[in-house]
Amino acid sequence: MATRLLRTNFIRRLYRFSALNPVGPPTVTASTAVVPEILSFGQEEEPPLHHPKPNEANHDLDLSDQARLFASVPTFDHFRSTAVLHAAAIGPMVDLGSWVMRSKLMETAVTRGVVLGLVKGTFYDHFCAGEDADAAAERVKSVYEATGLKAMLVYGVEHADDAASCDDNMHQFLRTIEAAKSFPTSHNRKKENQ
């Protein structure tokens, strides 16, 4: 029925029309777009959340200064991070890792210890801040103290099949919230240390 109402030629022309590139540069960009006053509905402009004081030093993160940004990270950690990211980006490597984790190699204590040690020292340490909320909080604090970078603590636990597992996950979630409360909130580290 739809083919009777919408002829295929019409659909093809519509596709060609929608796939055309615009002629010339865009006339309005997101950074230059101005909302007319009539559309603001009389609302006042929101004040900025942070008002810097005249004597307050500017502690903005400068991503163009890579030497300063990565000065606190050892060279070996840079190489390890690069290797882990490249390995995680190769599909067959991920398939091999998944196969090993599901294989009979994980049933013997010796090979299981070797495989889990390798995974913990590479992928787990790269992508996870810690095994529990306390370890993650300690890692976040050490990164903040070394670089001034803050972190976003993301909660993640295993799938729960029963009520006891759900309760355990809820307790872990609450511990994560408590750990996040202890993180520094100020951008000025020198004030916190005084």
Last residue in a domain, options 101, 127, 153 = 127
43: which 2 tokens? 């609302």
The CA distance from 19 to 8, in Å, is 16
For position 117, what pLDDT does the model report? 93
Q: Give the C-alpha distances (Å, rounded to integers) separating 20 from 17, 30, 66, 72.
A: 6, 21, 41, 49
Decide if pLDDT at 125 tops 60.
yes
Other Cβ atoms closer than 10 A to 37: 8
Last residue in a domain, options 106, 127, 148 = 127
Count structural domains, the chain.
2
What SS3 class is residue 179?
Answer: helix
Please indicate, yes or no, if residue 60 is contained in any of the structural domains.
no
Rounded mean pLDDT of 12-31? Answer: 48
Backbone angles phi, psi at 42, to 5 degrees: 75, 10
Domain that holds residue 146: 130-186
Answer with the residue of higher pLDDT: 49 or 80.
80
What mean pLDDT is reported for the chain? 72
Q: Any idea how long the chain is?
A: 194
11: which 2 tokens? 């659909």
Decide if pLDDT at 38 tops 90.
no
Rounded mean pLDDT of 99-118? Answer: 92
Rounded mean pLDDT of 60-73? Answer: 76
